[in-house]
Amino acid sequence: MTTMPNIELAKATVAEVADEAATKVVAREVNVYYADKHALHDVSIDIPEKAVTAFIGPSGCGKSTFLRCINRMNDTISICRVSGRIEIDGSDIYDRNLDPVQLRAKVGMVFQKPNPFPKSIYENVAYGPRIHGLTSSKADLDEVVTMSLKRAGLYEEVKDRLASPGTGLSGGQQQRLCIARAIAVNPEVILMDEPCSALDPIATAKIEELIDELRENYTIVIVTHSMQQAARVSQRTAFFHLGKLVEEGPTEQIFTAPQDKRTQDYITGRFG
Amino acid sequence: MTDIAAPPQGARRFGLSSAEAQARLRRRHAAEARFRAYGIGAIALAAIFLVVLIGDVIVKAMPAFTEYRLTMTVTPTLEQVSSDGTTDPQALRSGDYDAVLRRGLQELFPQVTTRALRRKLNNDLLSSGAAMTLRNRVLADPSAIGQPVTIEALLDDAADLYLKGLMTGRRESVGQGQAQVTLDGEDVVLTSSAPDFARALAEVKESLREEAAADRREAARLTAAAADVAGDQREALQKRIADLEGDAAAAEARAAAADAPERLTADLPSKLVFINGGIVKLTEIGASEARGTVLVPLANTDAVTAGGWDILTLTQPEANRRLDDQVVAWLEDLKQRGMVASHFASRFFTSGDSREPEQAGILGALIGSALTMLVTLVLCLPIGVGAAVYLEEFAPKNRLTDLIEVNINNLAAVPSIVFGLLGLAMFLNFFGLPRSAPLVGGLVLALLVLPTIIIASRAALKSVPPSIREAALGIGASHQQAVFHHVLPLAMPGIMTGTIIGMAHALGETAPLLLIGMVAFIVDVPGSITDAATALPVQIYLWSDLPEPLFQAKTAAAILVLLAFLFIMNGLAILLRRRFERRW
């Protein structure tokens, strides 16, 4: 059908961008099946390093599914099957010899609903470094926790109650705690699956600000339902529709001069 | 979008104020109120049943928590309490303490001289536990030998029951007139200036009438029964009916002759007269005077003014009770002397089972149950939780795991006696483990509880929100780390609940324990899991089967102990649960 030329076009765009920034994640012809359902069709995309890439599209279009392929979270769903190739820094993450647990330490994830552990704020952040043996002493761990909370912009708000439960924080604070928890293990890529959909506008603004700051050090991929958010925080945007990657390019271009009719319809609010 | 705002042409309008709508609203409110009423009714009914049940058990158990003791002073002599004349503990252990008590009783009632009465005094008043009390006292302090020792001797269960008012109804009436006492050989003749004895005679006649009515009812019942049988059986029945009719007619005739004197036989309520410090059992009552035998000697034969003497009626005829009038008289005398008193029966909580109802205690069964529960818990908590974690989190989903799952669910529904048979065949016969031991009981009950714990634990694991699992996986925890660090702690309250339910179930289980021999009569309190023991529900079952009224009371008391055990166990579990409980 008419989708093929668009994918070609998208690849070309990636090639252009690749000159400016190094590519962190490369996906080629990724297909995902849930039992018999073909959820993702031949997705190929390059995700640049130290930039925010937004995935947009209507519900059920496969953007979250693709996101979860990048840290192999789909492995936990027994009926899910992934084919194709995804590389991070040139190495195949679906390699037989690669331990998905190691991969997930490198590719952190923040979920739609804030999901702090029902433990103290300190324990929430310290859990990752502890299981990966990243710190050698209590003081070291304290420092990592403090640093992570500071980077997540939460430290000032919680420094006096690190021992109180993480679940007692407000929604926005919980989500920033989850971000602190994710960056505490020093990942290279952070995947965010609609991180603001359960938050109020003020908390959302804080998270968006935070994402913008984190871009300095991390490669961020964010799935969002809000086109304004995608426009605000991302440098590149990919539009998914019905399990296919329709169009991908610099955010400005996607929002101002979309190449595909469907992208245009979606952005202008004709559907979705 | 905007199309929705305006109602389409011809759409029905829903008025919320129309009469029809009001009626609908009323109906809905009525339905809701009705449903609420059903709910409250159901809860109230359940509460009433519970209160009645517990109340009934408590009322029935009360006699088991008190015991009557006779405070008596005895002087143990060395030749009585020591088998070889030394104060060596071994020799003191086998002494004849009953002899000491016999002498003590003799001193209390010096007028008892005939062999038959002495035997009655020695056998019917005190429990065999009294000698044990004395022995322990002497063993603890051998210097007491030869000195007067005051002990609280446990009364025999029949005497105990009488004093608790459970053996017979008692009716006391104070003498209204001046009483004269005349000795007539062995007997005593009593007269009163008021119609005290006429009233007593009327009571006897009333008893006769009741007896006659009871005979007639029985005869009518037998007549109906006789219609259905034939031959010899019928003849026997007809003979019995004729006897009953004859008895009834005779009793009625006696009752009808209002002023004719009556002999008080053993099948009529007994009447004891308390007068001049003694007790006279009436044997014959006339309208103005009564004749009786002396059970406890009178101090003198002086006339007694109105109010200074009493007539005690024991409504249960002597022939129908275990304690005869002589022993009752001794007990009443001791009571008047202030020597018998009710005490809290701590013995019930500190001793094992016994053939003597007044000495039987619950401690053996309690410890047996506790040891059994310990074995059960230690076995089934780790195994059950381990199985649940593996099946729920790690097992590949295939036909084999499905089969295992189905079988676990089926096991939960297997009758407990089947587990008992399994325990008998496996643990006793094959492995040769000791019979009646809490170890085997615990093993069998663990089998019984395992399915419950596994099912509850799996449900608890399943109910942990997947977001927690994803959070852990998302920062690079392995599956196992996610399960053991996050999922399992969150599932712990649910697992605890399942374990509590399972353990409570096991605690009340009787059938499997019967099969592995925990039903044996065991006096000793078990000291380890391999000692012979019994368990609380089995003890209840054993006692409930015994005819003695005091054992019936102990049955109810044991039920209370079982319930208390259960509450304490559940309370502990709830405390533990609280500690594990976290919100998410």
Summarised one tens digit per residue, pLDDT across range B476-489 is 888 899 999 999 98
What's the pLDDT band for A20 if we cut at 50, 70, 90? low
User: For residue B56, what pLDDT is reported?
Assistant: 95
- On whether both B415 and B501 belong to a single domain, the answer is yes
- On whether both B572 and B425 belong to a single domain, the answer is yes
Query: Residue B132 is inside which H or E element, if any?
Result: helix B129-140
* Structure-token match 């977001």, residue found: B467
Three-class DSSP category at B473: helix
ipTM of the complex in this document:
0.84
Pair of tokens at residue A106 = 């490198």
**What is the rounded CA–CA span in Å between residue B576 and residue B584?**
18
| Of A104, A118, A132, Cβ closest to residue B474 | A104
Query: Residue B105 is inside which H or E element, if any?
Result: helix B97-108
* Structure-token match 């019967």, residue found: B514
- On whether both B315 and B444 belong to a single domain, the answer is no
**What is the rounded CA–CA span in Å between residue A127 and residue A148?**
12
Kindly state the average pLDDT of the residues A47-71: 90
| Of A101, A117, A185, Cβ closest to residue B471 | A117
Count CB neighbours of B490 within 10 A: 22
Count CB neighbours of A115 within 10 A: 25
What are the φ/ψ torsions at residue A60 (nearest 5 degrees)?
80, 15
Kindly state the average pLDDT of the residues A35-53: 90
User: For residue A272, what pLDDT is reported?
Assistant: 54
Q: Do A111 and B471 touch (CB under 8 A)?
A: yes
Count CB neighbours of B382 within 10 A: 10
User: For residue A9, what pLDDT is reported?
Assistant: 36
- On whether both B534 and B428 belong to a single domain, the answer is yes
Q: Which parts of chain B sit beneath pLDDT 70?
A: 1-14, 582-584
Last residue of some domain: B108, B137, B163? Answer: B163
| Of A78, A113, A127, Cβ closest to residue B475 | A127
Last residue of some domain: B163, B179, B197? Answer: B163
Q: Report chain B residues whose CB lies below 8 A from the CB of A184.
A: 475
User: For residue B563, what pLDDT is reported?
Assistant: 93
Q: What is the 3-state secondary structure (H, E, C) of chain A?
A: CCHHHHHHHHHHHHHHHHHHCCEEEEEEEEEEEECCEEEEEEEEEEEECCCEEEEECCCCCCHHHHHHHHCCHHHHCCCEEEEEEEEECCEECCCCCCCHHHHHHHEEEECCCCCCCCCEHHHHHHHHHHHHCCCCCHHHHHHHHHHHHHHCCCHHHHHHHCCCEHHHCCHHHHHHHHHHHHHCCCCCEEEEECCCCCCCHHHHHHHHHHHHHHCCCCEEEEECCCHHHHHHHCCEEEEEECCEEEEEEEHHHHHHCCCCHHHHHHHCCCCC
For residue B21, how many C-alpha atoms fall within 13 Å in the half-sphere facing its CB?
A: 6
- On whether both B149 and B193 belong to a single domain, the answer is no
Residue B444 placed within a domain: yes
Residue type, B360: A
Range of the domain at B111: 65-163
**What is the rounded CA–CA span in Å between residue B263 and residue B122?**
30
Q: Cα dist. B486→A123, B453, B465, B473, B545 in Å?
A: 12, 20, 11, 10, 52
Pick from B146, B543, B550: nearest CA to B323: B550
What's the pLDDT band for A10 if we cut at 50, 70, 90? very low
- On whether both B381 and B519 belong to a single domain, the answer is yes
* Structure-token match 């007994």, residue found: B270
Q: Cα dist. B14→A256, B9, B17, B22, B337 in Å?
A: 48, 14, 9, 12, 90
Kindly state the average pLDDT of the residues A236-256: 90
User: For residue B304, what pLDDT is reported?
Assistant: 87
Last residue of some domain: B144, B163, B182? Answer: B163
Q: Cα dist. A44→A27, B24, B227 in Å?
A: 5, 60, 100
User: For residue B1, what pLDDT is reported?
Assistant: 45
- On whether both B121 and B262 belong to a single domain, the answer is no
- On whether both B247 and B293 belong to a single domain, the answer is yes
* Structure-token match 């190495």, residue found: A91
* Structure-token match 């030749």, residue found: B79
Pair of tokens at residue B9 = 């042409």
User: For residue A8, what pLDDT is reported?
Assistant: 35
- On whether both B129 and B248 belong to a single domain, the answer is no
> Residue B463: CB partners within 8 Å, gap ≥ 6?
B491, B494
Residue B114 placed within a domain: yes
Residue type, B474: G
Pick from B288, B294, B293, B292: nearest CA to B261: B288
Return the ∠ at Cα B130 (arms to B124 and B135), rounded to 5°.
145
Return the ∠ at Cα B541 (arms to B537 and B544), rounded to 5°.
130
Q: Do B471 and A115 touch (CB under 8 A)?
A: yes
CATH of A3-267, one of 3.40.710.10, 3.40.50.300, 2.40.170.20, 3.30.450.20: 3.40.50.300
Quick check: A13 pLDDT over 60? no
To the nearest whole angstrom, how far is the Cα of A163 from the nearest Cα of chain B?
A: 14
| Chain A interface mutation, best of B1, B393, B469, B475, highest count of A Cβ atoms under 10 Å | B475
> Residue A176: CB partners within 8 Å, gap ≥ 6?
A152, A153, A154, A206, A207, A210
User: For residue B438, what pLDDT is reported?
Assistant: 92
Say how many Å lie between the first and final Cα of chain B, rounded: 39
* Structure-token match 């994803």, residue found: B470
What is the residue-wise DSSP string for B512-576? HHHHTTTTS---SPP-STTS----HHHHHHHHHT---HHHHHHHHHHHHHHHHHHHHHHHHHHHH
Residue type, A78: S
Q: CATH number, domain at B566?
A: 1.10.3720.10
Count of domains in chain B? 3
Those residues of chain A whose CB sits closer than 8 Å to some CB in chain B are 71, 73, 76, 78, 101-102, 104-106, 108-111, 113, 115-119, 127-128, 131-132, 165, 167, 178, 181-182, 184-185
Within 466-485 of B, beta carbons closer than 8 Å to A belong to 467-479, 481, 485
Q: Do B481 and A78 touch (CB under 8 A)?
A: no
pTM score, whole prediction: 0.80
Q: Do B475 and A108 touch (CB under 8 A)?
A: yes
Q: Report chain A residues whose CB lies below 8 A from the CB of B467.
A: 111, 113, 115
> Residue A192: CB partners within 8 Å, gap ≥ 6?
A109, A110, A211, A220, A221, A222, A223
- A238 touches A41 (CB < 8 A): no
Buried b (16+ CB within 10 A) or exposed e, B535-549: bbbbbbbbbeeeebb
According to DSSP, the residues that pair with B283 across neighbouring strands are none
User: For residue B302, what pLDDT is reported?
Assistant: 84
**What is the rounded CA–CA span in Å between residue A263 and residue B341?**
98
- On whether both B212 and B103 belong to a single domain, the answer is no
User: For residue B184, what pLDDT is reported?
Assistant: 82
User: For residue B349, what pLDDT is reported?
Assistant: 92
Quick check: A21 pLDDT over 70? no
| Chain B interface mutation, best of A109, A112, A177, highest count of B Cβ atoms under 10 Å | A109
Residue B329 placed within a domain: no
According to DSSP, the residues that pair with A28 across neighbouring strands are A85
Pick from B155, B121, B152, B141: nearest CA to B81: B141
To the nearest whole angstrom, how far is the Cα of A66 from the nearest Cα of chain B?
A: 15
Pair of tokens at residue A270 = 């004709």
Q: Report chain A residues whose CB lies below 8 A from the CB of B490.
A: 118
What's the pLDDT band for A178 if we cut at 50, 70, 90? very high
**What is the rounded CA–CA span in Å between residue B308 and residue B517?**
60
Quick check: A6 pLDDT over 80? no
**What is the rounded CA–CA span in Å between residue B368 and residue B568?**
16
CA-based radius of gyration for chain A: 19
* Structure-token match 């979250």, residue found: A64
Pick from A84, A35, A26, A59: nearest CA to A241: A59
Buried b (16+ CB within 10 A) or exposed e, A236-254: bbbbbbebbbbbbbbbeeb
CB-count exposure of residue A222 (10 Å: 0-12, 13-18, 19+): buried
Quick check: A36 pLDDT over 80? yes
Q: Do A128 and B397 touch (CB under 8 A)?
A: no
User: For residue B17, what pLDDT is reported?
Assistant: 77
Q: Do A104 and B468 touch (CB under 8 A)?
A: no
- Helix, strand, coil tally for chain B in percent (to 5): 60, 10, 30
Q: Report chain A residues whose CB lies below 8 A from the CB of B481.
A: 131
What are the φ/ψ torsions at residue B548 (nearest 5 degrees)?
-65, 135
**What is the rounded CA–CA span in Å between residue A58 and residue A153?**
31
Q: Is the torsion defined by CA of B470, B471, B475, B477 positive or negative?
A: negative
**What is the rounded CA–CA span in Å between residue B265 and residue A251?**
115
- On whether both B179 and B139 belong to a single domain, the answer is no
Residue B342 placed within a domain: no
- B178 touches B192 (CB < 8 A): yes
Pick from A54, A57, A77: nearest CA to A219: A54
